[in-house]
Structure 1
Amino acid sequence: MKDPAPAPALWLLDTLRALRATLKRIEVEEVACLEAIHPDYRDSARNLLHFIAFHRHAHPGLPKALRQRGLCSLADCDAHLLASLEAVITALEAIEGLGPSAGGRIQLGGPDALEQHCDRLFGALAAAGVAGIMVTLPAEAAERPALVADLLEAGMTIARINCAHDDPEVWGRMVDALSQARVITGRPCAIAMDLAGPKLRTGQLAPQPAVIRARPPRDRMGRPTQPVRILVVPPGALPRPQETQAVRLPARLSRAKRLKRGNRLQGRDASGRRRTLRVVRRGPDGVLLLQAEKTCHFTSGLVFRQRHGKARLRIGPLAPVSGERLLRPGDVLRLTPEPDQGGATLPCTLPEVFGDLGLGERVLFDDGRIGAVIRGVSSQEVVVEVTTAQAGGSRLRSDKGINVPDSELRTPALTAKDIEDLAFVTQHADMISYSFVHRESDIQTLRHCLEEMDRGDLAVVLKIETRQAFLNLPRLLLAAMAHGAPVGVMIARGDLAIECGWEALAPIQEEILRICAAAHVPCIWATEVLDTLAQHGHPTRAEITDAAMGARADAVMLNKGPNITTTVKVLEGIMARSASDRSDRNLPLPTCLAFRSNCEPDDQLP
């Protein structure tokens, strides 16, 4: 099928001139907004308004029509839209032999502005054109400056401390370890501290008895290859180093001196099945090595007696484990702020959001693994019906995240705990990561707190992790630009994917990159980057590609893991090779930008 004929030149010129008028008109309509912007960000805010107006009014066939005439399609010009539009109009007028229209020459300044804002937010981090690497510090970093030094040598340029975990004492030791590592390596490194924010989670479920499972190793056919070894450790005894691979079982022995190699202890395990434990060795300190041919489940208080003898083994106290609920489709739950009462009730944090929930809205548990729909709401409880779970049921445990993507929450992003944590954060952090920010008032509240603490200059990174925040991103940026302090954006893809749907994540993260490019605001690509490599030592092909895509952002965040140092090295190599793609944030926008102005979309052009 042949491509359609190029659009008429006059239609194309009229379309471009109309767009130019629209971009200039939004400046007039939003003059009050622009006057409120700090001078350091006014040009960036103006370009963001141009970007919004352009994508609300541009004809969908415009890029193709421009390419057919050998002109710039304007797809790569988010950082300087009006200047690029003027240049294209001038070029088309010259091609058609028409006189220049009233427009005016505008200087391109987008890339330089973004570089300046990156320098202000991140400091002198890396070689020009290479994105920064943010690493979440594990708790062990508080005790191991050498680990932090290794991360710096590997390429870490921003150390992230999550205030949702640990406490100021531990954070202080992390900061000290980083200071020592900076001296050791001679490398600079900024500190970013995450405020916990108002996270909705399941409460503490009633604890349940612990179970220790001893299972014989099996071959690929499922047949036991050898008995499982069980190390019975009386109170106060220590197992021998060579037996650390055996299943350790705290227990009390009576008349254990009667036990000899080959003797058998019999009883019923936690499943009620009869099991036999054969004695392999009895040590002088009372430690007993047993073996079993079949899988055994042990709980506190179980008793095994010597066959044809008087020795007895009683399983000692086992620390209770967190409770859980086994949920199936069709189950009905009552969410309540009260302590766990078992049955169909489920305790949860943040009951103040109950008033923002409505009938028929979705509730997602544990990173979206369990889905439910609201069937009833009151100030004291929310009744939900489980709609999505595994066929055999899904287990829901304490302290698991709850998302309500269809609800518009009015809960402030800054909690009482966050305000308390700010006393430490403002003394040690180079930037604050602002969790669950939704609306402009959230930014104003945080800025007011910082000014009261004489840290109005502290940089703030807006974590975009909810549907509300994504839809309101342009207004959030404009509100942040009203202050002179550095500002950035983090694409928190974990909660964002749950809130907006997995299938929508790819276009949404591209849209956020483009909005940030238009606003000349540094952007951080976060959540599960090279996570398999960090946890298990081997990356997947998909996450290598994801890391390369993330290199288009101005920084990439890694979460902690046992192989985090290697992961930082790999990411640094990927980003160095992908550095030329960082400015290419220009895929088609999938949704209508959530920005209200007096401009209305143009009628569809021929």
Structure 2
Amino acid sequence: MKDPTPAPALWLLDTLRALRATLERIEVEEAACLEGIHPDYRVSARNLLHFIAFHRHAHPGLPKALRQRGLCSLTDCDAHLLSSLEAVITALEALDGQGPSAAASQDQPGGPPGLGGPEVLERHCDRLFGALAATGVAGIMVTLPAEAAERPALVVDLLAAGMSIARINCAHDDPVVWGRMVDALREARVITGRPCAIAMDLAGPKLRTGQLALQPAVIRARPPRDRMGRPSQPVRILAVPRGALAGPQDTQAVLLPARLSKAKRLKQGNRLQGRDASGRRRSLQVVRRGPDGVLLLQAEKTCHFTSGLVFRQRHGKARLRVGPLEPVSGERLLRPGDVLRLTPEPDQGGGTLPCTLPEVFFDLRLGERVLFDDGRIGAVIRGVSPQAVVLEVTTAQARGSRLRSDKGINFPDSELRTPALTAKDIEDLAFVTRHADMISYSFVHRESDIQTLRHCLEEMGRGDLAVVLKIETRQAFLNLPRLLLAAMAHGAPVGVMIARGDLAIECGWEALAPIQEEILRICAAAHVPCIWATEVLDTLAQHGHPTRAEITDAAMGARADAVMLNKGPNITATVKVLEAIVARSASDRSDRNVPLLTCLAFRSNCEPDDPLP
């Protein structure tokens, strides 16, 4: 699609002047809003309103027309839009021989004189992140695992590797564990001499599938197979009586709790026969009988064991009964076209699915989408009542997709009125306000959510505590400018986290890239620090080796003011890699005079290899 290019010579100047009038007019329209903004944020709020007005009214052909005249296209001026627009108008008037215009005053009330957009953002980063912002590179936020409470050395390693913000997720563990994490972090700061802020995530409303009825546990013993799919050797099964312990040499065997009768009669080579959980006949051969009555068995075919199954000795009286197995969470097998009812807990059986937050039923409408388990299963609402929501499954595997307890539920098309602050969050604030440097506010989507949290913090004497708005729903994304303006009404530091996991589910995977870019630009316009989160270098953290796409994603994320890593067995090495990436990205952005390797490597055909004497 071609950019529409204007024909009249004066169109460009008239368009820019009209845009300037639009930017000035929105200040009048939002005068009441600006009046309520804290003085520390008034400059930022004005620029955010300018950004909104500019992008609501700018002609799509404007950037191209400006570039054709050799002028700034205004696409990289989000942090100082009105002053940049004035400068372009002045330059264009001079080019057209109209003389300089009366430039708008650069003295903007409510902010420190002489500070431009980048300087204001830097000041806000200093307030939110503390000393780490002075380094000029993106901060590294790391989610602390529960292991950090028991192993303080891990926190020391993370700090030494480059962690600058420690994140504690209040959706897991309890204040006792959180307290140990905080103590470990304080000790690590003393040992390493490095600053590190503490961010604590409030859990927010829990919108998930409820607890499905428990079902019998199944232990599966499958022989290893070669590349052709043929069993290469028998599977080993360790039948362990109650009170006995498996030996260290049997770590590769499948553990099977068992009750053995007359097992002393069993010798190597004897067989126990019976039917497994699938109803098929299976034969278990004795390999050896160890101390404490532990039996090492082997089977040529795959076996499924459930509690109470009995295997008897062939031509003998010995018997093995599978011991009690802890029941496991139930599941629903869903196929396209299936109809089920979303109901309050507890589980009401087949054809229904319990929901942990039935209050949302009142906000749902016919035809709206419902997504389960990170979007793996999709459905459409066909009926709504206070007691149940009738759903038709639209997205699932043809052979069926399994949906288990405690899986996420998303309503991307619905305007949910559920408060972001729950009773549990208010209880957790008693700990958070004493130990955290910032709060990450989950599932915030309305201005009233911010006012509720601020009221609670002021009652607890921590009205100064920083708040990071987690943007994780489509509703929050569309309302982001209003959320920022509401947060700016208070003098406390504010930030934004791009929670890309839920955003991708709610807005669609293909829409995530432009959405995260838009959030970065809105934050730049509002001079609000932004945190890039979700699955950054996740394969590296989990498996020790990154994908190429992950490295690129981390480098893109370094444009934000902080990047968040989730926990994993290789998290310390991941922090080191991310620190190198963000440091390199900051250097590339700040110093455009660094020689480019491709240019240095280039040789002209006319240029001799050796310089002339």
So what's the TM-score if we normalise by structure 2? Answer: 0.93
Assess if the C-alpha contact under 8 Å between 1:510 and 1:587 holds in 2. no
**Distance in 2 between residues matched to 1:600 and 1:456, nearest whole Å:** 67
Change beyond 3 A, Cα 1:227–1:515: same
Give the SS at the match of 1:127. Answer: helix
Measure how far apart 1:516 and its partner are: 0.2
Query: Unaligned 5+ residue runs, structure 1?
Result: none
Measure how far apart 1:199 and its partner are: 2.6
Assess if the C-alpha contact under 8 Å between 1:26 and 1:599 holds in 2. no
Measure how far apart 1:128 and its partner are: 3.0
**Distance in 1 between residues matched to 2:113 and 2:579, nearest whole Å:** 37
Greater shift in the superposed pair: 336-345 or 360-369: 336-345
Assess if the C-alpha contact under 8 Å between 1:472 and 1:595 holds in 2. no
Measure how far apart 1:24 and its partner are: 1.2
Counting matched residue pairs gives 606
Change beyond 3 A, Cα 1:170–1:2: closer
Measure how far apart 1:452 and its partner are: 0.2
- Residue of structure 1 in register with 2:48 after alignment: 48
Assess if the C-alpha contact under 8 Å between 2:6 and 2:61 holds in 1. no
Change beyond 3 A, Cα 1:214–1:132: same
Measure how far apart 1:14 and its partner are: 1.1
Assess if the C-alpha contact under 8 Å between 1:26 and 1:597 holds in 2. no
- Residue of structure 1 in register with 2:86 after alignment: 86
Assess if the C-alpha contact under 8 Å between 2:41 and 2:110 holds in 1. no
**Distance in 2 between residues matched to 1:382 and 1:453, nearest whole Å:** 39
Greater shift in the superposed pair: 88-97 or 198-207: 88-97
Measure how far apart 1:561 and its partner are: 0.8
Change beyond 3 A, Cα 1:3–1:303: closer
Change beyond 3 A, Cα 1:3–1:498: closer
Measure how far apart 1:92 and its partner are: 1.2
Give the SS at the match of 1:125. Answer: helix
Change beyond 3 A, Cα 1:212–1:389: same
**Distance in 2 between residues matched to 1:578 and 1:494, nearest whole Å:** 24
Give the SS at the match of 1:305. Answer: strand
Query: Unaligned 5+ residue runs, structure 2?
Result: 101-107
**Distance in 2 between residues matched to 1:143 and 1:115, nearest whole Å:** 36
**Distance in 1 between residues matched to 2:380 and 2:606, nearest whole Å:** 37
- Residue of structure 2 in register with 1:73 after alignment: 73
Assess if the C-alpha contact under 8 Å between 2:335 and 2:397 holds in 1. yes
Assess if the C-alpha contact under 8 Å between 2:363 and 2:414 holds in 1. yes
Change beyond 3 A, Cα 1:601–1:224: closer
Please show how residues 378-457 of structure 1 align to structure 2 within 5 Å.
378-457=385-464
So what's the TM-score if we normalise by structure 1? Answer: 0.94
**Distance in 2 between residues matched to 1:507 and 1:213, nearest whole Å:** 45
Change beyond 3 A, Cα 1:285–1:133: same
Change beyond 3 A, Cα 1:317–1:3: closer
Give the SS at the match of 2:258. Answer: strand
Change beyond 3 A, Cα 1:590–1:82: farther
**Distance in 2 between residues matched to 1:7 and 1:108, nearest whole Å:** 38
Assess if the C-alpha contact under 8 Å between 1:86 and 1:104 holds in 2. no
**Distance in 1 between residues matched to 2:81 and 2:178, nearest whole Å:** 43
Assess if the C-alpha contact under 8 Å between 1:489 and 1:516 holds in 2. yes
**Distance in 1 between residues matched to 2:589 and 2:479, nearest whole Å:** 24
Change beyond 3 A, Cα 1:526–1:42: same
Change beyond 3 A, Cα 1:239–1:506: same
**Distance in 2 between residues matched to 1:5 and 1:331, nearest whole Å:** 52
**Distance in 2 between residues matched to 1:601 and 1:388, nearest whole Å:** 65
- Residue of structure 1 in register with 2:276 after alignment: 269
Change beyond 3 A, Cα 1:489–1:137: same
Assess if the C-alpha contact under 8 Å between 1:471 and 1:593 holds in 2. no
Give the SS at the match of 1:461. Answer: strand
Deviation per CA, 1:121-144, whole angstroms, max 9, x where unpaired? 001115532100111111111101
Deviation per CA, 1:79-115, whole angstroms, max 9, x where unpaired? 0001111111111112222122999999661000000
Please show how residues 101-112 of structure 1 align to structure 2 within 5 Å.
109-112=116-119
Pairing 1:467–2:474 present: yes
Measure how far apart 1:183 and its partner are: 1.6
- Residue of structure 2 in register with 1:97 after alignment: 97
**Distance in 2 between residues matched to 1:602 and 1:79, nearest whole Å:** 47
Change beyond 3 A, Cα 1:34–1:572: same
Give the SS at the match of 1:141. Answer: helix
Assess if the C-alpha contact under 8 Å between 2:520 and 2:560 holds in 1. yes
Measure how far apart 1:338 and its partner are: 3.1
**Distance in 1 between residues matched to 2:263 and 2:373, nearest whole Å:** 47
Measure how far apart 1:577 and its partner are: 1.4
Assess if the C-alpha contact under 8 Å between 2:43 and 2:110 holds in 1. no
**Distance in 1 between residues matched to 2:382 and 2:123, nearest whole Å:** 51
Change beyond 3 A, Cα 1:382–1:103: closer
Give the SS at the match of 2:293. Answer: coil
Deviation per CA, 1:552-573, whole angstroms, max 9, x where unpaired? 0000111111111111111111
Deviation per CA, 1:295-336, whole angstroms, max 9, x where unpaired? 111111111111111111111001111111111111111111
Measure how far apart 1:581 and its partner are: 6.7
Give the SS at the match of 1:582. Answer: helix
